[in-house]
Amino acid sequence: MSWTHSFWLRLQSLFLRSRIPQRLDDEFQFHLEQQIAENIAAGMSPDEARYAAMRIFGNTTFLREQTRDNWSWMWLENLFRDLRYAARTLSRTPGFAVVAILVIALGTGASIALFAVVRSVLLKPLPFRDPSRLMRLYEHSPDGRFPYNSSAAGVYAQWQQQNTGFSDLAVLTNGFQHYGLSGTGGQLPERVRASECSWDLFPTLGVTPALGRVFTSADDQPSANATVLLSWSLWKRRFGGDPSILNQSIHLDAKPYTVIGVMPPWFAYPAAGVQVWTPVHHEESPNRWQELDNHRFIVVGRLKPGISPAVATQELSLITRRLHDGHLDNPLISTAANSRPLLEAIVGDIKTPLYVLFAATGCLLLIGCLNVASLLVARGAARRKELAVRAALGGSRWRLLSEQLTETFLLSLAGGAAGLAFAFAAIRWFVATRQDISRVEAIRIDPIVVAFAAGVILLCAVFAGVMSSFSLQGDQVLSSLQESSRSHSAGRSQVKMRKWLLALEVGLTVVLLIGAGLMLKSYQRLRSANLGSITQNVLTMHLDLPGAKYSQPIQRLGFFEALLERVRSLPGVQSAGFTTSVPGEGYPGDRVFVIQEHPPLPIGQSQYVVDYWVDPGYFEALGIPLLRGQTFDQNQRLDKTNEVIISNSFARQYFGDEDPLGKHLLANGGRPYKIVGIVGDTRVEIAEPVLPIFYFPLYSGAERGTVLTVRSRQDVTSLALPIQQIVQELDAELPVSDILTMDQIIGKSTLDASFNATLLLAFAVLSLVLAAVGLFGVLSYIVGQRTSEIGIRIAIGAQRGEVLRLMLSDGLRPASIGLLLGLAGGVAASQNIRDLLYDTQPLDPSVFAGVAMLLLAVACMACLLPAWRASRLDPIRALRNE
């Protein structure tokens, strides 16, 4: 009761401000009058009485203040007053305020944005039930080349039957398959990314659908009716978000599938682009589950409670080993199993680049803080006299300090708020640009990011506050008042502090510059790596012939030939060809072979090499040079195909100095193929070393998924529409997808490298500008401080050039210290980005030397103007102002 009563009184004092003082005045007045009356009653005259009473009374003002201190919210009033003053002082120097706020906003915004990305992608657990128990299982290839290989269906089947460590083991394809979704109701056919999965995938992950139901074991049989699950985005986009789609059928690859459910919007496994899921046992032929060597599948499992991952994996390894030993004639069966936590499996390869970017934003934030601190120290130094006067008038150190602290807090809060807004925009831009990152759909600002943001802003504020408080020298009141504004001894400690701040800033800038230089060099090397084919003005598009309509090889052949004939006759088309995959698109798959003329391989060994299926005109279309021999003969069609073409590295690796032409390879089930030509090497992926490749005739009709490549002399993108029309005329239901030029394909595969390099470069340039401005500011300040000294020097005979050199060296010294610090830091930091560099050493001397020279040049330029001004000082004027 008493607490509420007093609180009520205090509240009153806040809002009815005049009441309390008024009341006090009345009481004092009354008391005084009573005392006077008493004095008069004791016999004094009225005047005497009054004086005596007032003498006893004492200092009413002090009393009033003391009493009022009990009542009112002094600290709140003080805070408001300080805020008002701070805002007013800052608005008087808008340039400083704007610059400081911008710098803080940039630093905090970048780090908050990247923290949001790092947290959402790398740190936040997967959105599944009990995600720490989920593992991805791999096979370890027998030759050790692929320790984290996809699994074969037959091996999975044995794992599932025999294992005891996992409560669920599900299998799925990797989401790079496609179905042709037939057009309905006027919509064009579309190629959708799909994943076939076992019925227990969703229970294993612990995911329930947004609509309808997921697969049951009854759906996952070869004899069941075809069912399909839609992704949320496909449902919204293509089917209008209409719930009546349930139990309707859609046509995939010209076959009807019943829609039984829609997945929630956040679900994106195995990849963000997967639009439909179908039951794997229904889609794959039953023979698959006997295959022990066709590594196409992803296996995920949920550990039983209490079982450790190592033990469970070991058991799977044993099962795999037993399979291998039981089928020694098949050299492709793996010898062991491997596992990784599911989160790591999904995001493992973008960990390093994201952490590098995060560290870079940390550097930027630190540089921004140092810069603002330096500005604040300068500002504090400029107000020394004002503070000295106020201290002399009785202001306590705390009062003066709290006012400066309020100013820095206000700056930091404003900068932090602007930084948050900037972070919002930056996150949205990041998500839009980097759709290729796994888990990009999970990037959002959650409470932990907000807490981090608050922490970062607070850190900035505290740092700035501590720095600005150093500039306060309460005990030197007298000297501050006495000195003239140009005395040399003034502010020496402030200059030293600014120099140190600047050295640190330059050091961090150099680290960023080195990182940016290395990444840029790596990206440039990557981009200019020779793919082996012509990449200018080459258009590609994916055409997947549906199995239902093109079940016979002769149907496929008919389509290829018809399309090629019409495309080649289009005006503007220089050449065109078909392939199963283009260079730079990624690992397309491999095939086992044996060289007929060579001695047989020992049991348990095999050789396999990347394979492409191409039409005879493909090499010319893509500009792959035919080094020896010739391309496929025209009679290579259907089951009469018996020719193969090999790449240069294939010839070197498997034939050495022998002449490969005319020899035979046995492949595709022991069929003989004669080597008729050797072509130049192409890269499967631009960042990977060259692999041996062999090419089979597409006209055998064995393959359905193809890529049409078209080369033109002028702008090839103008041909996209006419070619699509031709495809439509030949087959109205055939979807065309991934229409990209070769340059765009290379751009996509180098997106990570180019993004990182560009961002790092932007950070480095920004910090270089900040450091240069800081250097300029410090040296100008020093020159101002030493004006009289310079005047004396010039007056007693120093040359202008000597003065220039003196000032330059004074300014370049912190820059050089910073450079040395930064080079040392750069050596350490570059070790961490070793994994991201392509064809570039972390300790690349040209990069380090270039950065050092750039920094010295910029530092010289920044110092030149103040030093030149110093050398041009008129000694008379300088000394007169003493």
Partner 1 sequence: MGKPSDLVQGTLDLLILKTISTDPKHGWAIAKRIQQISREVLQVQQGSLYPALHRLELRGWIKSKSGETETGRHARFYSLTAAGRVQLEKETANWDRLSSAIDLVVQTA
* 492 is an interface residue for partner 1 by CB under 8 A: no
Specify the residue, 1 or 393, whose C-beta has the smaller distance to partner 1. 1
Residues 232-261 interacting with partner 1 (rule: CB under 8 A): none
**Count of residues that interact with partner 1, criterion CB under 8 A:** 25
Is the CB of 19 or the CB of 81 nearer to partner 1? Answer: 19
Q: Does 98 bind partner 1 (CB under 8 A)?
A: no
Q: Does 9 bind partner 1 (CB under 8 A)?
A: yes
Is 833 within 8 Å of 356 (Cβ atoms)?
Answer: yes
| Closer residue to partner 1 in complex, CB, 29/717 | 29
Residue 54 binds partner 1 (CB under 8 A): no
* Residue 36 contacts partner 1 per CB under 8 A: no
Whole-angstrom distance, CA of residue 746 vs CA of residue 116 = 29
Q: Contact, 299 vs 136, CB < 8 A? A: yes
Does 76 contact partner 1 by CB under 8 A? no
* Per-residue x/- track, 441-460, partner 1 (CB under 8 A): --------------------
- Distance (Å, whole) CA 414 – CA 354: 28
Judged by CB, which is closer to partner 1: 5, or 145?
5
Segment near partner 1 (CB under 8 A); pick from 33-41, 544-552, 742-750, 858-866:
33-41
CB nearer to partner 1: pick between 38 and 565:
38
Question: Is residue 14 a contact residue for partner 1 (CB under 8 A)?
Answer: no
- Nearer Cβ to partner 1, position 10 or 397? 10
Segment near partner 1 (CB under 8 A); pick from 32-40, 491-499, 508-516, 675-683:
32-40
Smallest gap from Cβ 6 to partner 1, in A, equals: 5
Work out whether 63 is an interface residue with partner 1 (CB under 8 A).
Answer: yes
Closer to partner 1 at the Cβ: 9 or 769? 9
Cβ closer to partner 1: 71 or 695?
Answer: 71
> Does 19 help bind partner 1 (rule: CB under 8 A)?
no
Task: Tell me how many degrees the CA angle 470-473-475 measures, rounded to the nearest 5.
Answer: 145
Residue 821 buriedness (CB in 10 A; 0-12 / 13-18 / 19+): middle
Does 57 engage in binding with partner 1 (CB under 8 A)?
Answer: yes
Cβ atoms 817, 505 nearer than 8 A: no
Nearest to 694 by CA among 757, 613, 813: 613
For partner 1, which is the closer residue by CB, 20 or 388? Answer: 20
Regarding 30 and contact with partner 1 (CB under 8 A), the answer is yes
Range in contact with partner 1 (rule: CB under 8 A) among 22-30, 410-418, 521-529, 627-635: 22-30
Should residue 6 be labelled a site residue for partner 1 when binding is judged by CB under 8 A? yes
Closest CB to partner 1 among residues 24, 773: 24
Name the DSSP class of 149. B
Contact 774, 505 (CB under 8 A): yes
Minimal distance, residue 132 CB to partner 1, in Å? 55
Closest approach, Cβ 31 to partner 1, in A, equals 5
Calculate ∠ Cα 432-426-175, nearest 5°: 30
Looking at the Cβ atoms of 67 and 174, the one nearer to partner 1 is 67
Helix (H) or strand (E) holding 106, with range, is helix 94-118
* Alpha carbon 32 to chain centroid, angstroms: 76
CB of 106 to partner 1, least distance (A): 48
- The two tokens of residue 575 are 């050449």
Q: Which residue has the tokens 């911008």?
A: 102
CB of 394 to partner 1, least distance (A): 22
Of 35 and 758, the one with the shorter C-beta distance to partner 1 is 35
Cβ 10 to partner 1, closest distance in Å? 8
CB atoms within 10 A of CB 732: 11
- Integer Cα distance of 202 and 622 in angstroms: 43
Q: How far is the CB of 43 from partner 1 (least distance, A)?
A: 17
Stretch that binds partner 1, among 2-10, 74-82, 258-266, 307-315 (CB under 8 A): 2-10
CB 112 within 8 A of CB 423: yes
Contact status: 72 vs partner 1 (CB under 8 A): no
Sign of CA dihedral 683, 685, 686, 687: negative
Shortest Cβ 36–partner 1 spacing (Å): 11
Assess 26 for contact with partner 1 (CB under 8 A): yes
Distance separating alpha carbons of residues 515 and 518, to the nearest angstrom: 5
Alpha-carbon distance 577 to 591, whole Å?
22
Q: How far is the CB of 396 from partner 1 (least distance, A)?
A: 22
Q: Among 11, 14, 16, 34, indicate the residue that binds partner 1 (CB under 8 A).
A: 34
Applying CB under 8 A, which of residues 36, 39, 49, 71 lies at the interface with partner 1?
71
For residue 29, give both structure tokens.
């007045």
Among 17, 19, 31, 399, contact with partner 1 (rule: CB under 8 A): 31
Q: Which uninterrupted H or E stretch holds 338?
A: strand 336-341
Which of 22, 45, 70, 725 is the binder for partner 1 (CB under 8 A)?
70
The per-residue DSSP string of 748-815 comes to HHTHHHHHHHHHHHHHHHHHHHHHHHHHHHHHHHHHHHTHHHHHHHHHTT--HHHHHHHHHHHHHHHH
CA distances from 827 to 353, 501, 502 (A): 18, 21, 21
**How many Å apart are CA 67 and CA 131, to the nearest integer?**
62
Using the rule CB under 8 A, give the single segment among 25-33, 193-201, 203-211, 517-525 that binds partner 1. Answer: 25-33
24 interacts with partner 1 by CB under 8 A: yes
In the bound state with partner 1, the residue whose beta carbon lies nearer, of 66 and 435, is 66
Note whether 66 binds partner 1 by CB under 8 A.
Answer: yes
Q: How far is the CB of 77 from partner 1 (least distance, A)?
A: 17
Q: How far is the CB of 58 from partner 1 (least distance, A)?
A: 5
3-state secondary structure of 6: helix
Q: Is residue 80 near partner 1 by the rule CB under 8 A?
A: no
The region of 20-28, 358-366, 705-713, 718-726 touching partner 1 under the rule CB under 8 A is 20-28
Cis peptide before 222 (omega within 30 of 0): no
Are the C-beta atoms of 531 and 682 separated by less than 8 Å?
yes
Q: Could you please report the per-residue DSSP string of 248-278?
A: -EEEETTEEEEEEEE--TT---S-TT--EEE
| CB nearer partner 1, residue 24 or residue 254 | 24
Give the angle 414-417-422 at the CA atoms, nearest 5°.
125
The CB-of-63 to partner 1 minimum distance in angstroms stands at 6
What's the rounded Cα separation, in Å, for the pair 102 and 98? 6
Instruction: Spell out a b/e string for 74-95, using b for 16 or more CB atoms within 10 Å of the CB, else e.
Output: eeeeeeeebeeebeebbeeeee
Among 17, 19, 23, 880, binds partner 1 (CB under 8 A): 23
Under 8 Å between Cβ of 642 and 702: no
User: CB-wise, 31 or 385, nearer to partner 1?
Assistant: 31
Classify residue 120 by its DSSP letter: I
For residues 8 and 85, which CB has a smaller minimum distance to partner 1 in the complex? 8
Structure token pair of residue 146: 């692929």
How many C-beta neighbours within 10 Å does residue 725 have? Answer: 11
**Among 14, 16, 27, 565, interactor with partner 1 by CB under 8 A:** 27
Q: What is the 3-state secondary structure (H, E, C) of 276-316?
A: EEEEHHHHCCHHHHHCCCCEEEEEEEEECCCCCHHHHHHHH
Q: Tokens for 291, please give them.
A: 């295959």
**Which amino acid does the sequence have at 127?**
P
For residue 35, state whether it binds partner 1 (rule: CB under 8 A): yes
Residue span binding partner 1 (CB under 8 A) among the ranges 59-67, 314-322, 565-573, 824-832: 59-67
Residues that bind partner 1 (CB under 8 A): 1-3, 5-6, 9-10, 23-24, 26-28, 30-31, 33-35, 56-58, 63, 66-67, 70-71
